[in-house]
């Protein structure tokens, strides 16, 4: 029978406290890993309350703000030049100042690059320490800090819009958002929180559900906000709405009984924290024996490629659609955001659950890869808004579902006590790839639009998307039929090490060998 972690102690704390008992085998279905981590409250209640937080906080997240920020900056740059932006099909048809429009597009792409640098690259430095610190401070303080970031960023855009300041002043709030950990911190801590309160067998669906809710909000919110922007024509009102949701997210986190703590708090020194991060990451790979180490590396590499392609793609296509020959209106920007990611986010948990009833997780990944290839190809050849918004987006409807599946595969390769280290590594990988995705894609588009070869980058991304299929097949084919049981393997190694360190153990072992040898001689 499996022993549940004591009190509110999580897997990371059990690892750092030898006196705590670790589970010797996977948790049975329906048994939370941290039974007392939610203080006797049913797991589904904790998940439901946590989903409300996801909805509130992701409305003011960087993806939504990037969609609004691109249009806000583009409008500001056009106003500085006394240039009337062509909007809609008729505007594109009558536009004859393509060079000036291209310059505005290029300047907007550069602003997007700066914004992405602050909101996505800074978390590369702050995300990993904050995720690791949550093992000691608890998840709640880190989540509260994370909720402050979008509030300050949204407030910054609101002030700039209301007082008609230079758009670059809004980047100050973006920097604060980046320091608070950005998307990567919230994503990683959310996945870690769910991992702690859900049984291993149900973990894949639970993680995918969190993923689905996050991206549903990320893609539905722009549709609503951009529709309001198109109807009201006021960035100030839209930014005021976003600021209110960011404030509600912070207020939702403050009472301790809504989002309850899932790990036990411990005192920690910054130096000890960094040493602990290094040691835990090292042990993550050192203890991944029996063919698990190279699988960890391959799956992390595949996850990185998918994240690089996926994370900045919506922003890139938005820049592409705002220019000629499409000339998107704010409403079309919102429609694209929803069509691009909404169905994927809504259907992701369902398709993963359904396919896992009949086939392995790897077939979900294969479906995702094929959808990605189709999406990039149709984006490159699209000549109408219908093809760009609907055709390409529906072709890639399941492209994003490989991300949570890769994460679920990773959690099955490492022992429960190493989940904290695993998600620290995940935070670093995701931060690097997502930040470089937005920055590189925005900068390359800025160069490509000046040269008139913007579609070439979509073909390159198509090839890159297909490159992960071969290593995924290798991992799939080489996986043992009985699967992996890292907790049992680690427990066996620990027991062997304890036996070796027991006084007189060497002598006892020697006598056993001698006795066995004598028996053989007698036979």
Does residue 169 contact residue 208 with C-beta atoms inside 8 Å? no
The model carries a pTM of 0.68
CA–CA gap between residue 161 and residue 234 (Å, rounded)? 9
Instruction: Say what angle helices 200-232 and 43-59 make with each other, to 10 degrees.
Output: 30
Does residue 363 contact residue 469 with C-beta atoms inside 8 Å? no
Domain-wise residue ranges, the chain: 40-270+281-494
> Cis ω on the peptide bond leading into residue 325 (within 30° of 0)?
yes
> What are the backbone dihedrals phi and psi of residue 255, each rounded to the nearest 5 degrees, phi first?
-65, 130
For 47, half-sphere exposure in the C-beta direction (CA atoms, 13 angstrom radius) is 21
Per-residue pLDDT of the chain (523 residues; tens, 9 = 90+): 333 333 333 333 333 343 333 333 333 333 333 443 455 678 788 888 989 999 999 998 887 898 899 999 999 999 988 888 877 655 565 555 567 877 888 899 899 989 988 998 888 888 878 887 887 888 899 999 999 999 999 999 999 999 999 999 999 999 999 999 988 788 888 888 888 877 777 777 777 788 778 878 887 898 899 999 999 999 999 999 999 999 999 999 999 888 888 787 777 677 777 777 788 788 888 877 778 889 999 999 999 999 999 988 988 999 899 887 888 888 899 899 889 877 877 787 788 888 888 888 899 999 999 999 999 999 999 999 999 999 999 999 888 889 888 988 998 888 877 877 887 788 788 878 888 888 899 889 888 887 778 889 999 999 999 999 999 999 999 887 666 666 545 555 554 555 555 554 444 443 433 434 444 443 4
Three-state SS annotation for 322-364: HCCCCCCCHHHHHHHHHHHHHHHHHHHHHHHHHHHCCCCHHHH
Looking at domain 40-270+281-494, its CATH superfamily turns out to be: MFS general substrate transporter like domains (1.20.1250.20)
Does residue 110 contact residue 361 with C-beta atoms inside 8 Å? no
Smallest CA-to-CA distance from 127 within 483, 408, 428 is with 428
């Amino acid at each position: 029978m499996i022993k549940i972690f004591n009190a509110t102690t999580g897997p990371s704390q059990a690892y750092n406290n030898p006196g705590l008992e670790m589970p010797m085998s996977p948790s049975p279905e329906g048994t939370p890993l941290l039974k007392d981590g939610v203080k006797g409250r049913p797991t589904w209640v904790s998940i439901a309350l946590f989903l409300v937080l996801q909805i509130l906080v992701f409305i003011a997240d960087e993806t939504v703000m990037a969609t609004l920020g691109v249009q806000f900056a583009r409008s500001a740059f056009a106003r500085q030049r006394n240039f009337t932006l062509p909007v809609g099909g008729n505007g594109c048809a009558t536009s004859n100042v393509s060079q000036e429009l291209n310059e505005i597009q290029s300047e907007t792409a550069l602003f997007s690059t700066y914004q992405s640098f602050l909101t996505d690259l800074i978390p590369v430095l702050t995300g990993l320490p904050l995720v690791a610190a949550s093992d000691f401070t608890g998840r709640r303080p880190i989540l509260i800090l994370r909720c402050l970031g979008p509030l300050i960023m949204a407030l910054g855009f609101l002030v700039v819009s209301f007082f008609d300041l230079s758009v670059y002043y809004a980047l100050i709030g973006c920097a604060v958002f980046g320091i608070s950990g950005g998307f990567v911190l919230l994503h990683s801590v959310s996945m870690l929180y769910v991992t702690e309160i859900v049984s291993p067998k149900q973990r894949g669906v639970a993680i995918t559900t969190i993923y689905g809710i996050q991206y549903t909000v990320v893609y539905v919110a722009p549709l609503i906000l951009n529709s309001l922007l198109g109807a009201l024509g006021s960035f100030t009102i839209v930014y005021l709405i976003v600021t209110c949701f960011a404030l509600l997210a912070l207020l939702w986190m403050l009472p301790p009984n809504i989002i309850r703590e899932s790990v036990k708090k411990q005192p920690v020194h910054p130096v000890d924290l960094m040493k602990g991060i290094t040691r835990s990451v090292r042990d993550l790979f050192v203890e991944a024996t029996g063919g698990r180490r190279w699988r960890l590396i391959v799956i992390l590499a595949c996850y990185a490629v998918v994240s690089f392609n996926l994370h900045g793609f919506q922003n890139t296509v938005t820049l592409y659609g705002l220019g000629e020959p499409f000339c998107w209106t704010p409403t079309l920007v919102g429609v694209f955001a929803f069509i691009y990611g909404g169905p994927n986010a809504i259907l992701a948990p369902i398709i993963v659950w359904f396919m896992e009833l009949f086939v392995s997780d790897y077939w979900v990944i294969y479906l995702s890869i094929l959808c990605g290839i189709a999406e990039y190809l149709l984006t490159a050849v699209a000549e109408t808004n219908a093809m760009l918004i609907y055709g390409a987006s529906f072709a890639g409807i399941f492209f994003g579902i490989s991300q949570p599946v890769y994460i679920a595969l990773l959690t099955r390769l490492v022992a429960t006590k190493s989940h904290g280290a695993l998600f620290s590594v995940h935070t670093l990988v995701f931060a690097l790839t997502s930040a470089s995705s937005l920055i590189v894609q925005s900068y390359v588009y800025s160069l490509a639009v000046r040269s008139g070869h913007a579609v070439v980058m979509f073909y390159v991304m198509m090839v890159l998307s297909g490159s992960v299929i071969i290593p995924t097949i290798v991992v799939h084919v080489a996986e043992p039929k009985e699967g992996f049981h890292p907790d049992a393997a680690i427990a066996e190694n620990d027991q062997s090490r304890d036996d070796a360190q027991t006084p007189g153990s060497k002598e006892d072992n020697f006598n056993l060998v001698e006795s066995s040898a004598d028996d053989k001689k007698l036979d």
